[in-house]
């Protein structure tokens, strides 16, 4: 069962908004055993929407559309679909009731423009969107077959959802995915991630080649390199879930035999999840001090639910004043060695560890840029430190002049170092 | 001049990686006056890649491809392109020299697998990728026309780039965008963002309707609603840059006349940029205390270059211990009212303001979920506070059970409140 996604919106094509909808939708559909074979992003243009709908409905069993359902003039998805299916727009009582209740809850007046959002093509099934004012519309079977001149028994589905990520996610979770699984017969899909650290993608590929070549045909392997680590994703597809689980476990055992010493986590999507898994298992606690990463380390850690079990808190010490007063970095150290120095990083990590009563303390201090570099310490110079019960280790990074990349790579390098120190 | 983007990679279709490449590329191309009319995301599958290349080359003047150039077995973009153009792979001296120097710099041994990355179709122009091991390939004119049976004078371009965001960005910035502008004649494009706060999208649309309808035809308006604000983007396209700038300024003046009191910033892409613009202009300083947002507020602020001018630092007070010791929240307050309370938020904001010697202090404390809720304080209950030289204000938010969304919306609500207090 194949799916095409169509994300509609001028804002996606001028690059003002990152299209997270495609990945969220793909993730949910993939884990429900459906395969997204194509994502198409197009502008709010009637002809383009119409032609893309036709192309993708020919190509795939189901087409999921987001965007173009707002109340403003540039939102034309609904009228384009109505036109394609030769249907007229009628007011949906379900949609109107939800819109009314949302407006009442917010104490807003219901304008005629908002009321128009309750209009839907008369050939659709309305899926009640309880978290927003744009209704979700489901089209199936005859409606599609007639418009596209397909054989009468063809089973195709078109779903139109709002582009607001939260609303789309709510609809997928509460209705659309289950409705699709019910309408189509879908096989099982099971996958497993193995996180590997300390070896580059090409060396890893050489190392595991015999294993990779011997994988059964229904198992797929993907390399997903990220800063500082490689994620291997094994995906199995078939009729029997137990068999698939067994096959994947066999493959994982084979991988451990060849590359076990580089494996730092299973089923962790990210390095913060690797950290979480280690700290939780070993009942350790953690505190962070950040200068150049400016809270990014903390925010990556606290994005995970349940982090309060091991994460005590942190200090973002942007000014030297905060480094001295809140973290206890020595005034003379800052004068002699500067804020971006091994000694400052060490004292920050040890300071936050002591003051926040944690087993491990971490620190970052550097010049994220694009300004602030000197011949001695060019932009991208970063010191990181991890202080633990036994020892404090430091590391110098040289990361170039891309600010966001320096922040992200520093965070990954720091959490990698922390993984090493906490698993020693 | 129209462009199609093709992003290749299984990882993009199973939702493991958010496809930021499409938005980064669109942004750069749009600001250089080129129009991205379509983005297509497809798997690492030879037939699909081939057919999509053909379709998009027919549809657009230029097709930019990312992904599938790595050294592993699942990367097949290069061989598919070579095949499409009936060309053979030859070793590029330029590419090999760069790969060698990268490996030498990293003190890695050059394996045969890595050396294969220097192979390119003999009909391409190699664009030197100095930040990675996969070469960038440029195809134009006759090569494309012959393969697609197009008239001999057709001017089409195909560019194949690595999928690693940093490498793609480097190539776009240092070569590809300029090369495209040179190959095609491109008109000017100028745009301006106006950030509006305190009015919903549909009310704003009603309010500015007469203005919107009177905009000249070469000006386009897009509504880009985000949590807590609406961004309006005006885009003008034409032959004369000065005329375009003048037309946009006229339109902006008209918008101020109708909706001036809701406008909080110009050419700010985000609410942190609005904050930055206000704090810099008024020479104010800022410190942050965060519980439920866990460093996200700080990381949004410090993502902007030059933030050390006004941002002193912050405390991520995840545990009560940190709230008391580092921020000075009263022990009895925590016992009586709890960590998630108006009183705690107030003391956190005032504490961080005083202890970090800033003009403004902010605080967030809440239950981001998915666990930790009580009947009194359900998941999504958040208190925010802003302490300034004159007064401290607090606000209660009820944000539902989506952790990441609660963190993001709390951050936006807090920064919006901060904007209000700092511009009083």
Over the Cα atoms of chain B, what is R_g?
26
- The pLDDT, as a whole number, for residue A336 is 96
Q: What is the pLDDT of residue B73?
A: 66
Reply yes or no on whether the pLDDT at A229 is more than 80: no
- Distance separating alpha carbons of residues B58 and B362, to the nearest angstrom: 54
Position A19 scores a pLDDT of 85
Confidence band of B71 (pLDDT split at 50, 70, 90): confident
Identify the bridge partners of residue B161 per DSSP, sorted by sequence position: B66
Residue of A nearest to B103 (CA): A200
Provide the pLDDT for residue A74.
66
Measured between beta carbons, the chain B residues lying within 8 angstroms of A116 are: none
Average pLDDT over residues A335-358: 97
Confidence at residue B268, expressed as pLDDT on a 0 to 100 scale: 80
Helical spans, DSSP H, in B197-304? 201-207, 209-213, 241-259, 271-281, 296-302
pLDDT higher than threshold 90 for residue B288: yes
Closest-CA residue of chain A to B6 = A40
Count the alpha carbons within 13 Å of A167 in the hemisphere toward its beta carbon.
21
Mean pLDDT (chain A) is 91
Residue of B nearest to A308 (CA): B318
Average pLDDT estimate for B138-148 = 95
Residues of chain B found within 8 Å of residue A35, distances taken between Cβ atoms: 13
Is the pTM for the entire model greater than 0.80? no
Q: How many CB pairs under 8 A join A and B?
A: 316
The helix/strand count (H/E) of chain A reads as 18, 17
Cβ neighbours of A120 (radius 10 Å): 23
Query: CB-CB: which of B39, B74, B368 is closest to A41?
Result: B39
* pLDDT tens per residue, range A46-73: 999 999 999 999 999 999 999 988 777 6
Q: Distance between alpha carbon A263 and the CA centroid of its chain, in Å?
A: 22
Tell me the per-residue pLDDT of B186-236, one tens digit each, with 9 for 90 and over: 877 788 989 887 788 889 999 999 999 999 999 989 888 765 678 898 989
Instruction: Give the chain A residue nearest B370 (alpha carbons).
Output: A305
Whether the predicted pLDDT of B46 surpasses 70:
yes
Counting Cα atoms < 13 Å in the Cβ hemisphere of B341 gives: 16
For residue A201, the model assigns a pLDDT of 85
Determine the distance in angstroms separating the CA of B73 from the nearest CA of chain A, rounded to an integer.
9
pLDDT tens per residue across span A28-43: 998 888 889 999 999 9
Contact A41 B22 (CB under 8 A): yes
Percentage above 70 pLDDT, chain A: 99
The predicted pLDDT at position A102 comes to: 87
pLDDT at B120: 94
In this prediction, residues A266-283 reach a mean pLDDT of 86
CB contact under 8 A, A202 and B113: yes
pLDDT value of position B74: 67
Mutation target to probe the B interface, by most B beta carbons within 10 A, among A313, A363, A364, A400 is A313
Task: Label the pairing between strands B229-238 and B188-196.
Answer: antiparallel
Specify the higher pLDDT residue, A126 or B116: A126
| Minimum-distance CB partner of B26 among A13, A20, A36 | A13
Handedness of CA A325, A326, A329, A335 (dihedral sign): negative
Q: Which of B23, B302, B312 sits opposite A19 (nearest CB)?
A: B23
A-interface mutation test, from B1, B173, B313, B329, most A Cβ less than 10 A away:
B313
Are A202 and B23 a contacting pair at CB < 8 A? no
A64 and A3 Cβ atoms separated by less than 8 Å: yes
pLDDT digits (tens, 9 = 90+) for B123-133: 999 999 998 88
3-class secondary structure, B19: coil
Could you give the dihedral angle defined by the CA atoms of residues B414, A303, A9 and B178, in that order, rounded to the nearest 10 degrees?
Answer: 100
Does the pLDDT of residue B45 top 60, yes or no?
yes
Interface test with A, best of B211, B295, B304 (most A CBs within 10 A): B295
With vertex at residue A47, the alpha carbon angle to CA A166 and CA A76, rounded to the nearest 5 degrees, is 40
Q: What beta strand segments (E) does B16-84 contain?
A: 35-42, 62-66
Closest residue to A113, CB basis, from B11, B205, B369: B205
Chain B hits for A294, Cβ within 8 Å: 298-299, 301-303, 307, 311
Q: Closest chain B residue to A318 measured between Cα atoms?
A: B313
Q: Is A228's pLDDT higher than 70?
A: no
- Mean of the per-residue pLDDT values for chain B? 91
pLDDT at A113 over 90: no
Report helix, strand or coil for A312: strand
The β-bridge partners of B261 are none
The mean pLDDT value for B403-416 works out to 92
Distance CA A236, CA B72 (A): 20
Looking at the complex, report in whole angstroms how far the Cα of residue A80 sits from the nearest Cα belonging to chain B: 18
Q: Pseudo-torsion of CA B224, B227, B230, B235, nearest 10°?
A: -30
pLDDT at B189: 79
The alpha-helical segments, DSSP class H, found in B35-76 are 46-59
- Those residues with Cβ within 8 angstroms of residue A32's Cβ, 6 or more apart along the chain or in another chain: A177, A180, A181, A186, A189
Q: Which chain A residues contact residue B310 at CB under 8 A?
A: none
- Shortest Cα distance, chain A CAs vs residue B123, angstroms: 27
Positive or negative, the CA dihedral A322, A348, B418, B266 is positive
- Check B318 against A308: CB less than 8 A apart: yes
């Amino acid at each position: 069962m194949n799916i095409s996604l169509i994300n509609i919106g001028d804002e996606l094509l001028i690059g003002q908004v990152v299209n997270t909808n495609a990945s969220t939708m793909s993730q949910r559909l993939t884990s429900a055993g459906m395969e997204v074979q194509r994502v198409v992003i197009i502008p709010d243009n009637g002809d383009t929407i119409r032609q893309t709908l036709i192309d993708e409905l020919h190509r795939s069993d189901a087409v999921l559309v987001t965007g173009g359902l707002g109340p403003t003039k540039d939102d034309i998805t609904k009228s384009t679909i109505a036109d394609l299916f030769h249907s007229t727009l009628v007011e949906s009582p379900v949609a109107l009731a939800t819109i009314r209740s949302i407006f009442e809850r917010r104490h807003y007046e219901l304008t005629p423009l908002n009321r128009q959002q309750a209009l839907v093509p008369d050939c659709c099934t309305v899926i009640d969107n309880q978290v927003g004012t744009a209704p979700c519309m489901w089209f199936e079977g005859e409606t599609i077959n007639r418009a596209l001149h397909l054989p009468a028994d063809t089973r195709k589905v078109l779903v139109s959802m709002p582009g607001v990520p939260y609303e789309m996610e709510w609809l997928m979770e509460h209705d659309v995915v289950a409705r699709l699984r019910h309408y189509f017969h879908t096989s099982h899909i099971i996958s497993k991630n193995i996180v590997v650290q300390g070896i580059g993608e090409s060396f890893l590929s050489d190392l595991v080649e015999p294993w990779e070549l011997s994988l059964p045909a229904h198992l797929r392997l993907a390399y997903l390199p990220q800063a500082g680590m490689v994620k291997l994703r094994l995906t199995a597809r078939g009729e029997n879930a137990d068999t698939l689980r067994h096959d994947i476990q066999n493959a994982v055992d084979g991988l451990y035999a060849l590359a076990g010493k580089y494996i730092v986590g299973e089923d962790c999507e990210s390095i913060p999840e690797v950290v979480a898994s280690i700290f939780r298992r070993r009942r350790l606690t953690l505190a962070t001090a950040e200068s150049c990463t400016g809270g990014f380390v903390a925010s990556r850690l606290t994005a995970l639910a349940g982090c309060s079990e091991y994460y005590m808190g942190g200090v973002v010490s942007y000014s030297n004043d905060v480094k001295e007063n809140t973290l206890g970095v020595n005034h003379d150290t800052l004068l002699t060695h500067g804020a971006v120095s091994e000694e400052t990083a060490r004292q920050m990590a040890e300071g936050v560890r002591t003051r926040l009563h944690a087993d491990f303390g971490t620190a970052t201090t550097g010049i994220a840029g694009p300004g602030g570099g000197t011949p001695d310490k060019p932009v991208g110079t970063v010191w990181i430190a991890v202080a633990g019960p036994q020892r404090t280790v430091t590391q110098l990074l040289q990361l170039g002049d891309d600010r966001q990349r320096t922040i992200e790579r520093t965070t990954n390098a720091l959490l990698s170092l922390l993984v090493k120190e906490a698993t020693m």
